[in-house]
Amino acid sequence: MAPFAKMNGLGNDILVVDMRGRDDVVTPEAAIALASDSRTAFDQIMAIHDPKRAGTDAWIDILNSDGSKAQACGNGMRCVVQALAAETGRRVFTFQTIAGILNASEHDDGSISVDMGTPEFRWDRIPLSEEFRDTRMIELQIGPIDAPVLHSPSVMSMGNPHAIFWVENDVNVYDLERFGPLLEHHPMFPERANISIARVLSDKEIDLRTWERGAGLTRACGSAACSAAVSAARTGRTGRTVTINVPGGPLAIEWRERDDHVIMTGPAEWEFSGALDPKTGVWEPDAAETGAVS
């Protein structure tokens, strides 16, 4: 059995699983079983493995609730940092993921910053199925040709593919539960995509809702918040430092000018801990509740 903590980042449900010292992995079958249990239902599993690369603290394997792999999960990384900080007393960490190296730190007020790296704008690296020289706005729409409901998204990768549809109305009036799956699986996105609806409130604030690839409608998606912030700055809608309001609460995003790294800052919250079988997903709660993964 592997220790785990059920946590959340602004309502983005996360399971942080400690796989250190083991040579197995959390299987897709286990992920699906855990996602189907109301007590352990999650958006992402963050499985902490022994480091594969010198100078890093851990390899993080990320799974979606449908059992598929995810390259990045900003809210999940904040949960990992909080769990490891509670265990070790340390504040600064370096992790390796499929998307690359991520640095993260916990602040005195309990908030956590994650350096999500640099965004990718090239069509073939997002990736898209056809060439667009300018990915600030591509030809894609939902609805009638002469009156589309959503159209002309900004697209980019923040370690995983994102499409941001800009709207003038309240983001909650759009039926993202219906449009999200259609757009996630659109032929334009050979690796599927995270689909977001964004409304600019000012040059420093954006409202955002996201249909998360492999997870569905979510209360928070850190990489989507980063993508919305970068795309807003890139299209002249905002500056490079903004507050992104997701259904779970606000995230502070800075697209740092000196190196183009995207820094996401927000909270993480521990709920309960237990142990699980990484092969089957069978689990049991801990008798004593503790915030550390140990």
Q: Considering its fold, how many domains does the chain have in total?
A: 2
Mean pLDDT of the chain: 95
Residues 183 and 251 in one domain: yes
Residues 113 and 211 in one domain: no
Note whether residue 50 is domain-resident. Answer: yes
Note whether residue 130 is domain-resident. Answer: no
pLDDT digits (tens, 9 = 90+) for 153-169: 999 999 999 999 999 99
pLDDT of residue 234: 98
CA distances from 191 to 18, 95, 181, 198 (A): 28, 24, 13, 22
pLDDT of residue 294: 45
Q: Which DSSP helix (H) or strand (E) runs through 83? A: helix 74-88
Residues 187 and 92 in one domain: no
Note whether residue 45 is domain-resident. Answer: yes
User: Nearest-CA neighbor of 172 among 205, 147, 198?
Assistant: 198
Note whether residue 128 is domain-resident. Answer: no
Q: Which residues are the active-site residues? A: 73, 221
- How far, in Å, CA of 129 to CA of 141, rounded? 15
The stretches in the chain having pLDDT less than 70 are 288-294
- How far, in Å, CA of 8 to CA of 162, rounded? 22
Residues 103 and 184 in one domain: no
Note whether residue 293 is domain-resident. Answer: no
Task: Provide the domain limits for residue 103.
Answer: 2-117+268-285
pLDDT of residue 288: 67
CATH of the domain at 187: 3.10.310.10
User: Nearest-CA neighbor of 104 among 86, 116, 121?
Assistant: 116
Residue recorded with tokens 């850190």: 222
pLDDT of residue 289: 55
Q: Which amino acid is at 110?
A: G
Q: How many helices (H) and strands (E) does the chain have?
A: 4, 19
